[in-house]
Amino acid sequence: MQKQSRVLLIIEKNPSGSYGIQMAKRMGLYVIFFSNNKYSNRPSEEDRQYIDELYEIDTNSDDDVMRLVKEISVKTKIDAVITFMEYYVPLVAKVAQYLGVKGNSVECSICTHDKYEMRKKLYQNGASIPQYLLFDSLESLLEGVNIIGYPNVIKPINMAASRAVLKSCNKEEMVTNYEKLIQEIPPYGVMKEERYLLEEYVDGQEISVEAAVENGKVNIIAFTKKYVSSGNHFVEMGHTVPYNVDNKTKMEIERCVLEGIRALGITNSITHSEIKISPKGPKIIEIASRLGGDHIPDLVNYAYGIDMWKMAIEIALGEKIDCNKVKNEAASIVFLSANPGRIIRIENEDLIKRKAGVKLLHLECSVGDKVSSLENSLSRIGEIITVGNNCNEAEQLSSWALNEIIIETR
């Protein structure tokens, strides 16, 4: 059993959360981990080396989790609680409130997870957002579109990774998209919500803003440029840190993000704000009260030498954070895709890995695997991270790598 070290409870993680577990250990923490342990996000053998106590529990049952937290906390003081997964953000706030440790309020965490609650809160506080309506049937969608019009976006209120986030330019497309939307089931045993959002489509460059909120003080850490696929689906195909923009736009974006963070009542967590710079100014797509996915924290670390994983844990512990950049470089990630079919050839993997500036080349596929069409983040088949002295250098290298790698399907 742990003695002097402080105790961190982690409830579930994405694959990239393995780094967060290792970081916790490096910070000298005693790590308790709750996991359903039956889905692809379960801790790996390697993860387990950094976990002191692993509990297998239905993390989709708040009651079960609260019961276990109560049981453990009778004998062990838990100093902080965190999740490395969007779906468990509200649960973590409940646990933090029960334990009396740092975190966002339960209301706030619901508003940063449930996309309808988020839109309502942002609207009530005058933040800059697209027009939106809630619907729960084809009839209510068809009624709503009389107000929202085309092009529009429909989406689930409690999912992630762009699952069933669909753009429609006319009624026919929208009805087809509606069928897809209602069939989408959340992953990891998360309960399906049968309420959906209809939103005005916002045109413009998409970026994200990574920030750290400490006792209500917002520290903006990075602007990330996003490359999103075109068509009816929105698949994030690349990100670059930093996104360089003129001062006026920068100030407008910062104001928009600050308004959003304040409106949602975020006081203690990392935030990942997705913004589109529309001709009418920046508009909030969503604000998450957790680390950005898609290796964005890694890009921030390569570009600025700031470890946002460490920072997320420090905030949860109530420790002081250091937001100073130790360097001013750039990093890019590009995601791989291929024509739908079976993979018959992969080439040049080694060539790319050996090139200076390429920090990661990870393929989630091998010869013989089936590639599906590009519909959401899960249909991507790998990623490449590159670094450079500036954005151009990092992006040129990632474009080169993307061109060199051959993934042939038939």
Residues that bind ligand ATP (CB under 6 A): 130, 153, 155, 159-163, 165, 199, 201-202, 206, 228, 234, 236, 274, 276, 285-286, 377
State the nearest-atom distance from the C-beta of 285 to Mg ion, in Å. Answer: 6
Q: CB 2 → ligand ATP: shortest distance, Å?
A: 34
Nearest approach, Cβ of residue 356 and ligand ATP (Å)? 31
**Contact map string, positions 256 to 275, toward Mg ion, x by CB under 5 A:** ------------------x-
Do the Cβ atoms of 108 and 114 come closer than 8 Å? no
User: Which of Mg ion, ligand ATP, none lies near 161, with the C-beta cut-off 5 to 8 A by kind?
Assistant: ligand ATP
How much is the CA Rg of the chain, to the nearest whole Å?
21
- Chosen from Mg ion, ligand ATP, none, partner binding at 94 (C-beta under 5 to 8 Å by type): none
**Segment 71-110, which members bind Mg ion (CB under 5 A)?**
none
Q: φ and ψ at 368, to 5 degrees?
A: 105, -20
In whole angstroms, how far apart are CA 135 and each of 131, 168, 380? 13, 16, 30
Residue (199 or 286) nearer to Mg ion, CB: 286
| Residue closer to ligand ATP (CB basis): 98 or 201 | 201
Largest CA distance in the chain: 63
CB of 159 or CB of 346, closer to ligand ATP: 159
Amino acid at 141: L
Cα 94 to Cα 106: distance, rounded to the nearest angstrom: 6
Q: Residues for the chain: how many in total? A: 410
Residue 130: which of Mg ion, ligand ATP, none does it interact with, CB under 5 to 8 A by kind? Answer: ligand ATP
Sign of the CA dihedral 55, 60, 61, 67?
positive
Site string for Mg ion, 281-300 (x = CB under 5 A): -----x--------------
DSSP code string of 111-168: HTTSHHHHHHHHHHTT-----EEEESSHHHHHHHHHHH-SSEEEEESS--TTTT-EEE
What b/e sequence results for 327-353 when a residue is b if at least 16 CB atoms lie within 10 Å of its CB, and e otherwise?
eebbbbbbbbbbeeeebeebeeeeebe
Can you list the alpha helix ranges (DSSP code H) found in 168-326? 171-183, 247-264, 296-304, 308-317
Output 114 or 286, the one with its CB closest to Mg ion.
Answer: 286
Instruction: Return the number of the residue (47 or 274) whose C-beta is nearest Mg ion.
Output: 274
| Nearer to Mg ion (CB atom), residue 286 or residue 383 | 286
> CB of residue 393 vs ligand ATP: minimum separation in angstroms?
26
Identity of the residue, 79 or 274, whose beta carbon is nearer to Mg ion in the bound complex: 274
List residues binding Mg ion (CB under 5 A): 274, 286
